[in-house]
Chains A and B, each alone.
Chain A
């Protein structure tokens, strides 16, 4: 059993909470018994070897796993105490409050302007769209690079710019939480640093969870780090992911409690 609170005295409000969550694809159990609290206005990193379920858990927080037909969840996930999987909860509303940035930059085949305006338009934004587009792009530190070509395709940008466009697109909907699933995996080191700086900016207004394979990245940006591990089990699939340790990033990387955490963060496996 792992403590749900990160090992730290100064825990603020809890935004997202998973309690004893098991995640299944059909009869195959992908993740077992995850309990974790995500604090407000902090960056929480999910690290761990491939197949340990960190992305799966992340996607559960904004119900993106609903798109997979065989997916099912046991246990409880709450957002400000409200059950995310209660029958009267509209997943569309959940995703407006909990946005997502993906591993591969995925701009829509639209102009840069329309990429940003898409989210606000579908949620019925009534204010000044030009202003919102500019604010969002400025927040994503992309405005200066694209202000003269807002009517060009989103694909005309470089990979790093596309990813910042996707972040701008996500924050244009003004969510409370931004989930990032390996946002820098497809980017060069300079773009990666830009995104990391951006995350540190954004965390003043947003709660961020980032899945990353890059441990240096976790130490650079995250306030808290959760280490997931995979365990070999009998039956199909062969592996089940679980939350091994959760705490202050500094502690996880310098003085973890578990042997497996130490082995992973020092690069001995994974």
Chain B
């Protein structure tokens, strides 16, 4: 037998220095990119914190639970509680409306209720909802949704000023709908067909199969989508600013104007100076932490649900 490359031990096969260098170069570049993202995130966080530092020193943690926002020079007091309330409540209402609607749409689009061609068109249209710029949603809210709400509530003798928590939450719900629908549909469609056949094969009805097998099997994906939507709702700025009324008060009525952290920032950064800038940065930091908590929570829930099965 002759000795050739294929019968020599692998350690003897020599790769050219160029080949090795290329490998190392590739590894180094990808690592560099990954580190860059990490650095960017840390830098943004740190810079916000540094800029917010004067406000943190002056107002401390009580910033989180005081309600006055007074930028008048010499008498500045800042507290962000109404905006935290507004952020959480508007997002919660949006979720409350969008989750059943989105999950229902996802189920409808992943089952064979209608011919595939129509389904494909509908899926595309849902995704198109996500492509509408948020300022367009805001404009639509002002000129279509608010007049419609005024008319509707007027039927019950309720006077409705217009910009309010309700208007903002409704538009938020529409904005996050495509996220919930698309992700839920994807995770339902990704289920192995054997699961569905197995259930039908045992004499399950379509409803039994959907609610007892398909949704539980896809739950981690669905919850992941909902949490992503929640993050989007909490950070959404333009449409909310145009519709929420920007009033720094806590009012239990959904018809009253309110405010969120992101619309506070959008409204005030232009004229802010000194300690007000620091306070806005502090508020921004709070928003970042809030979204971070939502993300961690989402991850935890998804992992918990996955571990169950």
Interface residues of A (CB under 8 A from B): 62, 64, 67, 69, 92-97, 99-102, 104, 106-110, 118-119, 122-123, 153, 155, 166, 169-170, 173
* Cα A4 to Cα B145 with chains together (Å): 69
Which residues of A lie under 8 Å from residue B192 when comparing CB positions?
104, 106
Cross-chain contact B198 with A108 (CB below 8 angstroms): yes
List the B side residues contacting A119 at CB < 8 Å: 202-204
Chain B residue nearest in CB terms to A100: B201
A96–B201 Cα distance when bound, in Å, is 8
Q: A69-B112, A153-B309 are in contact. Are A173 and B203 (CB under 8 A)?
A: yes
User: Are A118 and B202 closer than 8 Å at their CB atoms?
Assistant: yes
On whether the beta carbons of A64 and B195 are closer than 8 Å, the reply is no
Please state if B194 and A104 are interface contacts (CB–CB under 8 Å): yes
Cα(A109)–Cα(B309), bound, Å: 5
A102 and B202 contact, Cβ closer than 8 Å, known pairs A69-B112, A108-B213: no
Can you list 20 residue pairs at the A/B interface with Cβ under 8 Å? A67-B196, A67-B197, A67-B200, A92-B203, A92-B204, A93-B203, A95-B201, A95-B204, A99-B203, A101-B201, A102-B201, A106-B192, A108-B217, A110-B309, A118-B199, A122-B202, A122-B212, A169-B202, A170-B202, A173-B202
Complex: A61 Cα to B192 Cα, angstroms: 22
User: How long is the Cα–Cα vector from A62 to B203 in the complex, in angstroms?
Assistant: 9
Residues of A within 8 A of B195 (CB): 106, 108-109
> Which residues, 168 to 212 on B, are CB-close (under 8 Å) to A?
192, 194-205, 208, 212
Instruction: Say if the beta carbon of B216 comes within 8 Å of chain A.
Output: yes
Q: Which of A62, A67, A109, A169 has the most CB of B within 10 A?
A: A109
In the bound complex, what is the Cα–Cα distance between A170 and B309 (angstroms)? 20
Chain B hits for A95, CB < 8 A:
200-204
Q: B305 to nearest A CB, angstroms?
A: 10
Is B308 an interface residue, CB under 8 A from the partner?
A: yes
Q: Is the CB of B197 within 8 A of A122?
A: no
Report B282 CB to chain A, min CB distance, Å.
44
The 8 A CB mask of B68-107 against A (1 = contact, 0 = none) is 0000000000000000000000000000000000000000
B99-135 vs A, CB cutoff 8 Å, 1 = contact: the mask equals: 0000000000000100110000000000000000000
- In the complex, which residues of chain B have a beta carbon less than 8 angstroms from the beta carbon of A96? 202-203
A173 contacts across to B, CB distance below 8 A: 202-203
* B205 and A122 within 8 A (CB): yes
Contact residues in B for A109 (Cβ distance below 8 Å):
195, 213, 216-217, 309
Chain B residues with CB under 8 Å of A110's CB are: 216, 309
Q: Is the CB–CB distance between A118 and B212 below 8 Å?
A: yes
Count, chain B residues at interface, CB 8 A: 23
A123 to B14, alpha carbons, bound, how many Å? 67
* Given known contacts A106-B194, A108-B195, A110-B309, A170 and B216 CB-to-CB distance under 8 angstroms: no
B190 to chain A, nearest CB (A): 13
Question: Closest approach, in angstroms, between the C-beta of A194 and any C-beta of chain B?
Answer: 20
By the criterion CB–CB under 8 Å, are A102 and B203 in contact? no
Q: Using CB atoms, name the residue of chain A closest to B217.
A: A109
CB proximity of B308 to chain A, nearest CB, Å: 7
Given contacts A118-B212, A122-B208, A155-B309, contact A108 B112 (CB under 8 A): no
Residue of B whose beta carbon sits closest to that of A93: B203
Q: Which of B115, B204, B217 is most buried by chain A, counting CB atoms within 10 A of its CB?
A: B204
Separation in Å of the B178 CB from the closest CB of chain A? 27
Cα(A64)–Cα(B201), bound, Å: 7
Q: Which residue on A lies nearest to B198, using beta carbons?
A: A106
The residues of A that contact B204 with a CB separation of less than 8 Å are 92, 95, 118-119, 122
A interface footprint on B50-82 (CB within 8 Å = 1, 0 otherwise)? 000000000000000000000000000000000
Closest chain A residue, CB of each to CB of B208: A122
Q: Cα distance A62–B115 when bound, in Å?
A: 24
Q: What separation, in Å, do the CA atoms of A169 and B194 have in the docked complex?
A: 14
Asked if A99 and B198 sit within 8 Å, CB to CB, the answer is no
CB distance from A170 to the nearest CB of B (A): 7
Is A102 touching B217 in the complex (CB atoms < 8 A)? no
Whole-angstrom distance between the Cβ of A256 and the nearest chain B Cβ: 32
Q: Give complex CA distance A155, B309 in Å.
A: 7
CA distance A123 to B201 in the complex (A): 12
Give B202's nearest chain A residue, CB to CB.
A119
Q: How far is the CB of A6 from chain B (nearest CB, A)?
A: 26
Residue of A nearest to B204 (CB): A122
Provide the residues of chain B in CB contact with A92, threshold 8 Å. Answer: 203-205
Q: Which residues in A have their C-beta under 8 angstroms from that of B208? A: 122
Partner of B202, one of A67, A93, A99: A99
CA distance A222 to B199 in the complex (A): 27
Given contacts A110-B216, A122-B212, contact A64 B198 (CB under 8 A): no
Q: How far is the CB of A108 from chain B (nearest CB, A)?
A: 5
- Other than the given A97-B203, A106-B197, A118-B212, 4 more pairs (CB < 8 A) read A67-B196, A67-B200, A96-B203, A99-B202
Residue numbers in B under 8 Å from A122 (CB-CB): 202-205, 208, 212
Q: How far is the CB of B209 from chain A (nearest CB, A)?
A: 9
Residues of A within 8 A of B213 (CB): 108-109, 118
In the complex, the chain B residue whose C-beta lies closest to that of A66 is: B200
* In contact, A153 and B308 (Cβ under 8 angstroms): yes
The residue of chain A having its C-beta at the shortest distance from the C-beta of B218 within the complex is A109
Cα distance A87–B50 in the bound complex, in angstroms? 74
Find out whether the CB atom of B216 lies under 8 angstroms from the CB atom of A102.
no
